[in-house]
Chains A and B, each alone.
Chain A
Amino acid sequence: MADISYAKIVRDGLWNNNQALVALLGLCPLLATTTSATNGLGMGIATTAVLLLSNVTVSLIRRLVRPEVRIPVFVVVIASFVTIVELLMKAYFPELYKVLGIFVALIVVNCTILGRAEAFASKNPLGASAMDGLSIGIGSTAALVTLGGLRELVGQGTLFAQAHLMLGDWARVLELEVGEGFHGALAAILPPGAFIGLGFLIALKNVIDKRAARRTEAVPVAPPQPAKAG
């Protein structure tokens, strides 16, 4: 690939090829950890960190690695970074680690990360790979936070509850609570709520995409009208 447009990488990562909503990769952590917006954010940041590190490393070693052991080497790289992120989280964000627990280790088997290493970073230069890792990571994080926020709001009547445990005391301003009487619809917090919520998010994205497509189609079809005064 001679010509890589950074803008396209960013657009693909954030929206057109959003790994959670379009590629439907990494669903296990997506569905399991999004019981609140804070959890989603923590998981998203951890995943983004691993994605960035692994994409950069894979891109750097892409000429060195022989095709026969390509995948095992990628897995070793990813597993190492995940363990490092896990240790760092345990040391510096123990509260968040307590909540995310086993799912941090499971980032190893998140298909998104191996998928980007194989499909992008192993064929592209350093800068583009780093950009791809970051964009894909932020795209996934956005999906995680949105789904987490949605489930938390419906299921518990709060938003970003306990964010201060992760981000420090300033984050208390993010924490939001619906009125006292609202106890929430428990189903949203339970696993079925994750599937239903994800379904709605995908549907929403498709609607937005269709609207956008119709608008761009409409421009060349309709002859330019003289602007009406008024």
Chain B
Amino acid sequence: MTARYPIAIAGVLLSLFSVAGAGLVAVTHVATAERIAQNERQALLDRLAVLVPAERVTNDMAGDTIVVSDRERLGADRTTVYRARAGDAPVALILTAVVPDGYAGPINLLVAVLADGTLGGVRVVSHKETPGLGDKIEEQRTDWIHGFAGKSLSNPDPAHWKVKRDGGDFDQFTGATVTPRAIVKAVKNTLLYVKEKGNALYAPVESTQARSLVGGTG
């Protein structure tokens, strides 16, 4: 390498290394993309399956989705609804509801509502609540979140869908009332939303009429 145009040589060298590096990354990406997508799908399915009577479900829950919008009750402009069916019969809806008023920002939930209106279960997907206090909503820390399974708008009645400190039926945590209060409210709102929309939420995705019906508000 003569030093006539050192900077040009340096530039070419750098480009060559960049191309080689990008090539290596591209090859790895192609080799792993399918497996990564499969992993993510499996992780989603695992999360959904514990919330519904999985043995009755015959369809592909992770693939049978619609997107609805109701900021007022579901906490976000885009809420994904996974639909579980047994043949043609509805089994459950799982909504990615957002708790807008957590103590430290929004809390992402998965709320499963069975076809008869009772809750299949609720799980916290992500949150920023205080470690040691608000994070007791995590399944790994306490059983609190399991308390929602089997509840519905008639059990307890809507007036008791509150934490105990507010005269309701749900436990709060010592030192952390805001978090459970916000979650109880969000779960109740989700139940109200599902009750109002009824079977329209199970409508096949192919039907454009159903799309406009459930996606219209907002």
The answer to whether A80 and B21 have CB atoms under 8 Å apart is yes
Q: A84-B25, A186-B132 are in contact. Are A91 and B10 (CB under 8 A)?
A: no
Looking at chain B's contact residues, the main secondary structure is: helix
Most chain A CB within 10 A, of B13, B21, B25, B43, is at B21
Q: Does B36 belong to the interface (CB within 8 Å)?
A: yes
Contact residue among A64, A77, A88, A190 (Cβ-Cβ distance under 8 Å from B131): A190
The docked-state distance in angstroms from the alpha carbon of A94 to that of B35 is 10
Q: A76-B18, A80-B24 are in contact. Are A88 and B32 (CB under 8 A)?
A: yes
Known pairs A66-B13, A76-B21; A90 contacts B6 (CB<8 A) = no
A66–B22 CA distance with the chains assembled, in angstroms: 20
| B89 touches A (CB below 8 Å) | no
Within 8 A of A (CB), among B1-37: 1, 6-7, 9-11, 13-14, 17-18, 20-22, 24-25, 28-29, 32, 35-36
Complex A-B: 12 CB contacts under 8 Å: A66-B13, A69-B13, A76-B17, A77-B21, A80-B25, A83-B28, A84-B28, A87-B36, A90-B36, A91-B32, A94-B39, A189-B131
B17 & A90 in contact (Cβ 8 Å cutoff): no
Q: Does A73 contact B (CB under 8 A)?
A: yes
Instruction: Judge whether A230 is part of the interface by a CB distance below 8 angstroms.
Output: no
| Contact surface of A with B, Cβ cutoff 8 Å | 61, 64-66, 68-69, 72-73, 76-77, 79-80, 83-84, 87-88, 90-92, 94, 98, 186, 189-190
Measured in the bound complex, the distance between the Cα atoms of B131 and A149 in whole Å is: 19
Minimal Cβ-Cβ distance residue in A for B22: A80
- Chain A proximity of B194: nearest CB distance (Å): 29
Contacts of A72 in B (CB 8 A): 14
Q: Which residues of A contact B36 (CB under 8 A)?
A: 87, 90-91, 94
- For the complex, give the distance between the alpha carbons of A190 and B135 in Å: 13
- B residues within 8 A CB of A68? 6-7, 10
Q: Give the complex CA separation of A208 and B174 in angstroms.
A: 44
Q: Given A77-B21, A83-B25, decide whether A65 and B32 contact each other with a Cβ distance below 8 A.
A: no
List B contacts of A83 (CB < 8 A): 25, 28
Chain A min CB distance to B2 (Å): 12
Nearest B residue to A74 by beta-carbon distance? Answer: B17
User: What's the Cα separation between A229 and B67 when bound, in Å?
Assistant: 88
Instruction: Tell me, rounded to whole Å, the shortest Cβ–Cβ distance linking B131 to chain A.
Output: 6
Contacts of A77 in B (CB 8 A): 17, 21
Residues of A within 8 A of B132 (CB): 186
A186 partner, pick from B14, B25, B32, B131, beta carbons under 8 A: B131
